[in-house]
Amino acid sequence: ESAVFRKRKELYNLHLAKLAVGMPGDIRRILITEGYLDVVRLYANDFKNVVATLGTSLTNEHVRILKRYADEALVVFDGDKAGEAASLRGLDIFLEESMSVKVLSLPKGFDPDSLIQSKGRETMAQLIEQSQDVFDFKLEVMLKRYNRSDSLGLLKITGEFLETFSKIKNPVLLDRYLKKLAANLGVQENSLRSELQKIKTKPVYAADPVRS
């Protein structure tokens, strides 16, 4: 980390990936993985539009750079709890920066490198085509954690989603997701909009100064 090298802004293989994301007018997609070896394995198997963060979590700066070269990001994280958690953290950043994003859930115990070595390139290609919309991925994760039939579980799920929705700047996308969440949870869309408005207008208090 230095004045000329900041991990928060750098992406491994971006110099090559940006050449392979497609032409303007097409849906230009870029894959994002957790590790360098994943990038090397994917690139060697003709998935050339792939980058990785340099040993740090995805940042807003990363997404702003990606938006210069791609219309859609496909987050490819390892099939474990840590990968799932990393996916959820990163997804909110994409939505906050108004970049379209999908998620590729790898089978449990696999990362892109081991998956291609074990099951081959075609399996990876099929999984990429089956990637999930950010909403569907998050709902699947939330329903594993909480019971929507239980009052507390329902509040946990809606709370998690509304925090994410509060970061979405595109009104069309926000409208779509609110409708989908209401339908999936069996609640009134107006109730969700009301709670979302409370989150958006909630004042942010500065930390108290340290008293001597």
Contact criterion met (CB below 8 Å) for 87 and 133: no
Segment 42-84, tens digit of pLDDT: 999 999 999 998 877 888 999 999 999 999 999 987 766 665 6
Contacts of 65 by beta carbon, 8 Å cutoff, 6+ apart: 9, 11, 14
**Radius of gyration for the alpha carbons in the chain, expressed in angstroms and rounded:** 19
Lowest-pLDDT range, 70-84, 142-156, 178-192? 70-84
The 3-state DSSP class for residue 51 equals strand
Length of the chain: 212
Segment 187-199, tens digit of pLDDT: 999 999 999 999 8
Give the Cα separation of 167 and 139 in Å (integer): 17
* Cα separations in angstroms, 168 against 7, 61, 74, 94, 188: 25, 17, 18, 9, 20
Q: Average pLDDT for residues 178-189, to the nearest whole number?
A: 95
- Name the one residue in this structure whose structure tokens are 């740090």: 56
The pTM score is 0.82
Give the Cα separation of 86 and 84 in Å (integer): 5
Q: Average pLDDT for residues 166-186, to the nearest whole number?
A: 93
Is 174's pLDDT higher than 70?
yes
